[in-house]
């Protein structure tokens, strides 16, 4: 890169200053991950906007890692975000206002420049496609107290929530030594996700009417959009992206369950995609297409890489909830080429498509899902 252009990016970009972080600690931002050396002090040249920062501390030999902790930021041009390693708690903490002012001035004077790793701008496009609906208000509405998202604060989560065999396997995977902790954090509040009812119940309504209402989730979607999202379709999509990122990068089981609930809600609608909320579903299909495209990516040897390896037991099998819910042209191509799934047309619904030039046109098929007999929230 031209030196003048690089200096301009350093001065106008966001800087994440991370002090006293031990060697071998894994630090990530968005889709990028760093294994820290002794001179590392942070990341520079970060484009302004929303980002997800996550890290995992290591044993001295760099072979064992603690549960991932992550947090969202929304930073403006030239902003400096300072975090300092707390050895006893093994986590990053905010510094005092006086310290922050001092460090910010040092960063702007380029005192830390040689110890800051550059943000890989060529990968920024992937991140934008995964986060374009997340705003500052999305973060403020959903993030937990203190802002830290970690599986260790999710003990006992979803005990009464029906799970497929693959999701039970994921639950067990998250309880292994890599993710478990002896510290009791069960009282810590997780994220403030929107509650998505699994079953709609209304007094005085006949059984066939209730069945119809639960087979087509359009009325539930409309109700949630008005009551929980202020009528904003983009706010719902922002929560969908927030949950996906918290799961994939932050390895949060709570986030996976929320992502599953929102995906199930949207794919459970028949009337909305074709009539009342067509534009929402065009945007939704683009969102989830890029989520799976990133989540299912493989390395040159054909194996799952990085955080996506966590997905093996959760939704890479033909008995996962996604296989029973998803049918779109783009989706179909991705899942068939990545996983070898074969979709057979089982009803006339499978053949319904929007105009041929609409590559993201949604196609919805209603499946019999015994989990809808439960009355608990997902």
For the chain, domain boundaries? 3-124, 151-373
In 3D, which of 371, 358, 5, 10 has the Cα closest to residue 163?
371
Q: What is residue 214's predicted lDDT score, i.e. its pLDDT?
A: 58
> In terms of DSSP H, where are the helices of the chain?
3-12, 97-108, 124-131, 136-142, 165-174, 207-215, 218-227, 233-248, 253-267, 271, 278-295, 312-315, 321-325, 329-339
Count of C-beta atoms within a 10 Å radius of residue 326: 24
- Collapsing DSSP to helix, strand or coil, 90 comes out as coil
Q: What is residue 234's predicted lDDT score, i.e. its pLDDT?
A: 97
Q: What is residue 317's predicted lDDT score, i.e. its pLDDT?
A: 59
* Strand partners for 363: 327
Q: What is residue 359's predicted lDDT score, i.e. its pLDDT?
A: 42
Looking at residue 95, the DSSP 8-state letter turns out to be P
**What gap in Å lies between CA 39 and CA 16, rounded to an integer?**
15
**What gap in Å lies between CA 28 and CA 208, rounded to an integer?**
50
Q: What is residue 245's predicted lDDT score, i.e. its pLDDT?
A: 96
Question: 218-227 and 253-267 helices cross at what angle (nearest 10)?
Answer: 120
Q: What is residue 324's predicted lDDT score, i.e. its pLDDT?
A: 61
pLDDT tens over the chain, length 378 residues: 788 888 899 999 999 999 999 988 999 999 999 888 989 999 999 999 999 999 998 877 777 888 899 999 999 999 999 999 998 888 999 999 999 999 999 999 999 999 999 999 999 999 999 999 999 999 999 999 999 998 877 755 555 555 666 556 656 655 553 444 444 444 557 899 999 987 665 555 555 555 555 578 898 999 999 999 999 999 999 999 999 999 999 988 899 999 999 998 999 888 888 889 999 999 999 999 999 888 877 654 444 344 444 454 455 555 566 766 666 666 677 667 766 777 765 544 444 333 334 443 444 333 443 333 333 333
Q: Is 58 in contact with 76 (CB distance < 8 Å)?
A: no
Q: What is residue 330's predicted lDDT score, i.e. its pLDDT?
A: 66
Q: Is 343 in contact with 313 (CB distance < 8 Å)?
A: no
**What gap in Å lies between CA 69 and CA 60, rounded to an integer?**
19
Q: What is residue 346's predicted lDDT score, i.e. its pLDDT?
A: 52
Listing DSSP states for 177-195 in one string gives TTT--SS--TTS----PPP
Q: What is residue 35's predicted lDDT score, i.e. its pLDDT?
A: 87
Q: Is 287 in contact with 241 (CB distance < 8 Å)?
A: yes
Q: What is residue 329's predicted lDDT score, i.e. its pLDDT?
A: 64
CATH 1.25.40.550 assigned to domain 151-373? The reply is: yes
What are the backbone angles phi and psi of residue 140, rounded to the nearest 5°? -65, -30
Q: How far is CA 75 from the centre of its chain?
A: 19
CATH 2.60.34.20 assigned to domain 3-124? The reply is: yes
- 169-219 pLDDT, tens per residue? 656 655 553 444 444 444 557 899 999 987 665 555 555 555 555 578 898
pTM over 0.85: no
* Strand partners for 56: 26
What 182-187 contacts at long range (C-beta under 8 Å, 24+ apart), as own/partner pairs, is 183/152, 184/155, 185/152, 185/153, 185/155, 186/153, 186/155, 186/156
Element (H, E) at 93: strand 91-94
Q: What is residue 89's predicted lDDT score, i.e. its pLDDT?
A: 83
């Amino acid at each position: 890169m031209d030196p003048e252009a690089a200096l301009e990016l350093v001065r106008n970009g966001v800087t994440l200053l991370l002090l006293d972080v031990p060697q071998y600690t894994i630090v990530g931002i968005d889709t990028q991950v760093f294994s820290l050396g002794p001179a590392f002090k942070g990341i520079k040249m970060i484009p302004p906007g929303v980002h997800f920062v996550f890290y995992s501390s290591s044993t001295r030999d760099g072979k064992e890692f603690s549960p991932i902790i992550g947090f969202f930021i929304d930073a403006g041009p030239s902003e400096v975000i300072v975090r300092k390693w707390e050895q006893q708690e093994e986590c990053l903490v905010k510094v005092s206002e006086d310290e922050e002012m001092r460090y910010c001035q040092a960063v702007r004077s380029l005192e830390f420049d040689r110890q800051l790793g550059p943000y890989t701008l060529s990968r920024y496009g992937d991140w934008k496609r995964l986060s374009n609906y997340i705003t500052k208000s999305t973060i403020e509405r959903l993030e937990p107290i203190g802002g830290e998202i970690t599986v260790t604060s999710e003990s006992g989560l979803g005990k009464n929530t029906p799970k497929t065999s693959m999701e039970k396997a994921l639950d067990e995977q998250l309880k292994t030594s890599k993710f478990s902790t002896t510290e009791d954090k069960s009282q810590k509040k997780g994220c403030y996700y929107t509650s998505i009812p699994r079953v709609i119940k209304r007094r005085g309504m006949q059984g066939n009417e209730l069945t119809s209402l639960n087979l087509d989730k359009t009325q539930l979607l409309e109700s949630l959009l008005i009551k929980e999202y202020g009528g904003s379709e983009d706010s719902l999509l922002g929560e969908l992206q927030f949950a996906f990122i918290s799961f994939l990068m932050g390895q949060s089981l709570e986030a996976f369950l929320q992502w599953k609930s929102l995906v199930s809600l949207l794919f459970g609608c028949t009337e909305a995609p074709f009539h009342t909320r067509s534009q929402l579903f065009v945007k939704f299909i683009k969102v989830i297409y890029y989520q799976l495209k990133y989540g299912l990516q493989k390395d040159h040897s054909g194996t799952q890489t990085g955080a996506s390896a966590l997905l093996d037991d959760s939704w890479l099998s033909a008995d996962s909830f996604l296989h029973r819910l998803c049918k779109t042209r783009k989706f179909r191509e991705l899942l068939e080429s990545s996983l070898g799934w074969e979709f057979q047309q089982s009803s006339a619904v499978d053949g319904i498509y929007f105009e041929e030039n609409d590559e993201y046109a949604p196609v919805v098929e209603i499946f019999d899902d015994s989990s809808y007999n439960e009355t608990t929230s997902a």
